[in-house]
Structure 1
Amino acid sequence: MSALDIQSIRKSYGSVDTLKAIDISLDDGEFLVLLGASGCGKSTLLNIIAGLAEPTGGDILIGGRSVLGVHPKNRDIAMVFQSYALYPNMSVARNIGFGLEMRKVSKEAREKAVLDAARLLQIENLLDRRPSELSGGQRQRVAIGRAVVRDPQIFLFDEPLSNLDAKLRTEMRVELKRLHQKLQTTVVYVTHDQIEAMTLATRIAVMRDGKIEQLGTPQDIYNRPATLYVAGFVGSPPMNILDAKVEGDRFTFPGCDETIAIPSRLQATVKKGQTVKIGIRPESFRVAGQQEVVGSLKVRVELVELTGPELVTSALAGNQTITACLPPNAEIETGSEYRLAFDETAVHVFDPVSELAL
């Protein structure tokens, strides 16, 4: 039995379709990340799972039981919001245990649950403080602790790290990963941050305009993007997308004399004269040797940025921009020409009309 079944969920506001027949099935202990840009429908879907919004069509099953029409408090879920939503006049301990208090759980059981959650989140020394005395990361731990004491069947997270600075976000990602590994509870997590998605998820649902563009493991999403949107959205810097055309057994590029061989795995897929989109991730490039011309492109460097671990190079191949992530000690000069080489496996090909991978 699946922990969560989302069956053909639709949501409309008048003539506007916010969600368009979403289907996802999660096993116990999975960590699903709903990833997408603002307005794609990911928070709407989370609110429907939580019972904070009703779908226009479809069904939600938790533990094999339909929860449509069931009050949120009776769905065996716990939700952590973007805002911490802590009671300022209560101590940390009471904030964590307040939900149990409202359910008439005994004082002894409450205190044990609160202490267990605080130890798990490493905030047991903060139990007597008020929220105003805590940092942002500590407040988020308290909000998560309030969910943990519920011991729910499903955790729901709505962009819980977006209010934190970069260092705290990194720390909290580690904490959330550790928490999931210990509790093994099913999680649905909403974010627009691809790094959060790649590091936390067991599966990612990339959403766009109320639909799922691709559902798969982080490795699938990154290494085998199903659509142009997924290819361009997941990755930092994003995948290079270049216009190309099939000529014989090679891809040609408008505006320059460069060509590359069509990968053997794709030769039966593309057709002579076909216009395509070529995708190559920035980290797949390397500076080619003097005699290395197969699987390489001649470029003119426009901009070089040292980020520390890598040299992010922006260059032109004809009139098309290419971004390459090179080793930090690479000897690259602005205005100079180089050949950037890549392996055949780095080449992704998409249909420009359907935007699907070929």
Structure 2
Amino acid sequence: MSALEIRNVQKTYGEVVTLKGIDIALESGEFLVLLGPSGCGKSTLLNIIAGLAEASGGDILIGGQSVIKAHPKDRDIAMVFQSYALYPNLTVRRNIGFGLEMRKVPADEREKAVLEAAKLLKIENLLDRKPGQLSGGQRQRVAIGRALVRKPQVFLFDEPLSNLDAKLRMETRTELKRLHQLLKTTVVYVTHDQIEAMTLATRIAVMRDGRIEQLGTPSEIYDRPASLYVAGFVGAPPMNMIDVTVRGETLVIAGSEAAVPLPARFHGKVQDGQLLILGIRPEALDLAEASPASVGLPTRVDVSELTGPELVITALIGSQRLTACVPPRSTITDGAALTLFFEQDSVHLFDPKTGMAIA
């Protein structure tokens, strides 16, 4: 039995279709991240699961029971919001235990649950403070603690790290990962940040215009993107997209005379003269041949940028640009000719008409 099942969920506002039939089944302990840009429908879907918005069609099952018509308090879920949503006049202790207090849980049980959550989140020393005396990261831990004490079947997170600075975001992300590994809870987490998605999720649903573009593990999404949209959205810097034409068993790069071999796994799947988009991740490009089978691309360096852990090169191949991530101590001269090497198994091919990957 799935911990959470989303069956053909749809949402319309008048003539505007926000969700176009979402189907996902989550087993107990999974961490699902709904990933996509603003307006793709991810927060709408989360609100429908929580009961804060009404679906126009479909069903939501939690623990095998339909909750589509149930009140939010009866759905056995707990939600953590982007804005923390803490009571400013209550102490941390009462904020964490407030939901239990409203459910008439005895004071001794309530105190035990609050102390357990505070210990997990390492905020025992903050219990007698009020939210105004806390940092953003501490407030978010309190909000998470309030959800933890409920011990629900499903936790819902709506962009919980968006209000934190970069350092706090990374620290809190690590804490969330640790908590999930410790508690084995079922989580649905909404974000537009692909780093959060890749580091936290057991599965990612990449959303676009109210649909799921691809559903898979982080490695599946990253290594085998199903479409140009997924390939461009996941990865930093994003995947290089190069226009090519099939010529026999080679791919001729548009705007240049350069050509690279057509990887053997695509033989028989593309046609001579077909226009395609060759995708290759910046980190798959190297300054040296990794093996005798490495393929070289003749380029000219346009700009090089040192980020600290890597040197990001923007190079030109004919009239097209591509990005490469190379070791930070590499000696690169802007304007110089440079051959970038890659392995054939790192190549992705996409149909520009459909936007879908060539399998």
TM over 0.5: yes
1:254-273 residue pairs with structure 2 within 5 A?
A: 254-273=254-273
Does structure 1 residue 237 correspond to structure 2 residue 237?
A: yes
Q: Tell me whether 1:119 sits opposite 2:119 in the alignment.
A: yes
3-state DSSP class of the match of 2:283? helix
Partner of 1:150: 150
2-structure distance, mates of 1:296, 1:9? 47
Q: Are 2:51 and 1:56 aligned?
A: no
1:335 to 2:330 alignment:
no
Deviation at 1:294, TM superposition (A): 5.8
Structure 1 position 292, deviation (Å): 8.0
Q: CA deviation at 1:270?
A: 0.9
Q: Matched residues in 2 for 1:353 and 1:51: separation? A: 39
Q: Which string of whole-angstrom CA distances, capped at 9 and with x for unpartnered residues, describes residues 111-159 of structure 1?
A: 0000000000000000000101000000000000000000000000000
Cα–Cα, structure 1 residues 292 and 28, in superposed 2: closer, same or farther, change >3 Å? closer
Give, in whole Å, the separation in 2 of the partners of 1:293 and 1:196: 35
What's 2:163 paired with? 163
* Aligned-partner Cα distance in 1 for 2:300–2:89: 61
Match of 1:79 in 2: 79
**Displacement, 1:25?**
0.2
Give the structure 2 partner of residue 140 of structure 1: 140
Letter in 1 for 2:334: T
Q: Show the counterpart of 2:180.
A: 180
How far did residue 194 of structure 1 move? Answer: 0.3
Determine whether 1:110 maps to 2:110.
yes
Secondary structure at the counterpart of residue 198 of structure 2? helix
Shift of 1:288: 3.7
Contact 1:261–1:294 (8 Å) recurs in 2: no
Q: Say which SS state the counterpart of residue 286 (structure 1) adopts.
A: coil
Answer yes or no: is 1:40 the counterpart of 2:35.
no
**Runs of 4+ residues over 2 Å off in structure 1:** 291-294
Which AA in structure 2 matches 1:260?
V
Does the 8 Å CA contact 1:260/1:294 hold for their aligned counterparts? no
Question: What letter is aligned with 2:50?
Answer: A
What are the superposed Cα offsets for residues 279-318 of structure 1, whole Å, 9 maximum, x if unpaired? Answer: 00000001146x9896121111111111111000001111
Q: 1:147 to 1:294 in 2, by over 3 A?
A: closer
Task: Indicate conservation of the 8 Å contact 1:89/1:130, yes or no.
Answer: yes
Following superposition of structure 1 onto structure 2, how do residues 217-232 of structure 1 map, counting pairs within 5 Å?
Answer: 217-232=217-232
- Superposed, 1:300-319 pairs within 5 Å as 300-319=300-319
CA shift for structure 1 position 68: 1.1
Q: Partners of 1:49 and 1:333 in 2: how far apart?
A: 53
SS at match of 2:357: coil
Question: What is aligned with 2:20?
Answer: 20
CA 1:103–1:293 in 2, change beyond 3 Å: closer, same or farther?
closer
Q: Mark the CA change 1:69 to 1:294 in structure 2 (over 3 Å): closer, same or farther.
A: closer
Cα distance in 1 for residues equivalent to 2:96 and 2:348: 48
Q: Give yes or no for contact 1:301–1:333 (8 Å, CA) kept in 2.
A: yes
For residues 67-122 of structure 1, the C-alpha deviation after alignment (integer angstroms, 9 at most, x for no partner) is 01100011000000000111111000000000000000000000000000000000
Residues 222-250 of structure 1: CA deviation (Å, up to 9, x unaligned):
00000000000000000001111000110
Distance 1:87 1:294, change over 3 A: closer
Is 1:320 aligned to residue 309 of structure 2? no
Q: Distance in 2 between matches of 1:24 and 1:292?
A: 43
Instruction: Tell me the amino acid that sits aligned with residue 248 of structure 1.
Output: G
When the two chains are superposed, the root-mean-square deviation of aligned CA atoms in Å is: 1.1
Structure 1 segments unaligned to the other structure (5+ residues): none
Q: How many residues align?
A: 357
Q: TM (normalized to structure 1)? A: 0.98
Question: Distance between the aligned counterparts of 1:265 and 1:164, measured in 2?
Answer: 44
Q: Is the 8 A contact 1:297 1:340 kept in 2?
A: yes
- For 2:177 and 2:62, locate their aligned partners in 1 and report how far apart those are by CA, in whole Å: 23
Match of 1:352 in 2: 352
Preserved CA contact (<8 Å) 1:36 1:206: yes
Query: Whole-Å Cα distance in 2 between the matches of residues 234 and 341 of structure 1?
Result: 22
